């Protein structure tokens, strides 16, 4: 599958300034052998018991400022309810919010019933419990909302990309879960299931990936970025709508930041302003993504969110021979803006090898405090 073995899963701790001096950052050495996918009967893909039991439960931030959560899940026996019951840890008052349901077809595959429900008006820094599957098999999960946005708000992000569903993918997710620093939210930089590596883009592998990652993403938000393995463009089997499985399964709050597309958007969380960009949507001058980013960057308020983080899939800087310079045209378009608005760090995936830059510079002699990690 080519998924990176022991892929990067690190914590980014805001309000801690670390100077990168190069050198070895990990004793990990990548194996030469190609990663092997876990078989569908692996325990990590187990279907939860019970009639119409919700599966593939996942959450992400549901608004601009961290006071809403999008809860998504799949039912397979019948549509069932799109309601979510939720309550705070210190309250007996339970509320119910209604969502919506979608399905899709991809070649000879028909999806289950995909539910998306947004819980709004949450309190900051509060643990909430929530239940899905009301009326049939009910399952309960929980999450913790972020602290109120502000300049002196510590927060720990995990960083994962190009995960897939290989044996090494399982090691990666376990590594993140067991990290003593305990990430609070994952910044996911694209390439989720790798279902497109299977004949006819076998969408059963989208279902198995959703069940595999549920153990983390049902309890903390993963902030989604689309990668090349989400495109799923396959005209040879009649599938000509790009990103069809991804956009049906994974919703993001793009409208909250005045974006016109789920592939580029922004959120604020703790002391960070996070911008998600689309490597595989048009980004040239006059395009919707270009116009949106041109308006978005001046909105960053450093007195409120001193950290400006950008997520994308294809890196702009890469010394590896695979995918070399694939992000160059986007770099040419947007790097001057990143310099002008003093982006603190850029996280990318795509290249299955870890690299980080020292302070980047454009093709002048002026050193800049802009770092790129892939």
> What positions carry a catalytic annotation?
323
The 3-state DSSP class for residue 371 equals strand
Class of residue 15 by CB neighbours under 10 A (exposed 0-12, middle 13-18, buried 19+): middle
CB 70 within 8 A of CB 59: yes
DSSP output for 171-225:
HHHHHHHH-TT--SEEEE-S----GGGSGGG-THHHHHHHHHHHHHHTTS-EE--
Going by C-alpha positions, the residue among 282, 365, 287, 349 that lies closest to residue 315 is 349
Which has the closest alpha carbon to 24: 370, 318, 374, 356?
A: 356
If phi > 0 it is left, if psi is from -120 to 50 it is alpha, else beta; for residue 220 that is beta
Q: Which residue has the tokens 């990290």?
A: 179
User: SS3 letters for 56-77?
Assistant: EEEEEECCCCCCCEEEEEEECC
Whether 372 and 319 have beta carbons less than 8 Å apart is answered as: no
Cross-strand pairs, 156: 13
Who contacts 184 (Cβ-Cβ below 8 Å, separation ≥6)?
144, 146, 155, 156, 157, 158, 220
Candidates 310, 240, 229, 320; CA nearest to 275 is 310
Backbone Cα Rg of the chain: 20
In this structure, what token pair is assigned to residue 96? Answer: 């119910």
Q: Residue 194 is encoded by which pair of tokens?
A: 């790798």
Residue carrying structure tokens 């694939």:
326
The C-alpha atoms of residue 201 and residue 195 are separated, in whole angstroms, by: 5
């Amino acid at each position: 599958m080519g998924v990176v073995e022991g892929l990067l899963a690190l914590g980014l701790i805001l309000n801690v300034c670390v100077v990168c001096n190069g050198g070895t950052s990990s004793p990990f050495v990548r194996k030469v052998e190609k990663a092997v996918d876990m078989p569908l009967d692996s325990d990590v893909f187990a279907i939860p018991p019970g009639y119409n039991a919700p599966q593939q439960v996942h959450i992400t931030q549901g608004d601009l400022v961290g006071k809403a959560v999008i809860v998504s899940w799949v039912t397979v026996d019948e549509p069932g309810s799109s309601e979510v019951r939720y309550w705070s840890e210190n309250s007996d008052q339970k509320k119910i919010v209604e969502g919506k349901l979608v399905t899709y077809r991809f070649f000879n595959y028909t999806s289950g019933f995909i539910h998306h429900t947004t819980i709004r008006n949450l309190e900051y820094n509060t643990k909430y419990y929530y239940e899905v599957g009301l009326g049939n098999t009910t399952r309960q999960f929980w999450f913790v909302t972020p602290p109120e946005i502000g300049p002196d708000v510590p927060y720990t992000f995990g960083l994962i990309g190009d995960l897939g569903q290989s044996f090494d993918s399982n090691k990666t997710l376990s590594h993140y879960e067991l990290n003593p620093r305990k990430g609070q939210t994952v910044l996911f930089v694209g390439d989720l299931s790798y279902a497109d590596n299977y004949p006819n883009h076998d969408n059963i592998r989208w279902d198995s990936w959703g069940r595999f990652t549920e153990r983390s993403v049902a309890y903390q938000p993963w902030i989604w970025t689309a990668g090349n393995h989400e495109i799923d463009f396959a005209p040879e089997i009649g599938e000509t709508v790009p990103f069809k499985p991804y956009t049906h399964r994974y919703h993001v709050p793009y409208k909250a930041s005045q974006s016109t597309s789920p592939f580029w958007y922004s959120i604020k969380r703790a002391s960070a302003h996070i911008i998600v960009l689309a490597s595989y949507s048009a980004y040239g001058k006059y395009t919707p993504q270009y116009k949106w980013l041109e308006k978005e960057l001046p909105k960053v308020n450093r007195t409120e969110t001193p950290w400006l983080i950008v997520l994308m899939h294809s890196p702009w800087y890469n010394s590896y021979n695979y995918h070399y310079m694939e992000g160059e045209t986007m770099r040419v378009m947007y790097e001057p803006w990143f310099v002008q608005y003093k982006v603190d760090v850029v996280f990318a995936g795509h290249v299955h090898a870890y690299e980080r830059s020292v302070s980047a510079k454009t093709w002048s002699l002026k050193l800049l405090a802009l770092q790129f990690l892939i």
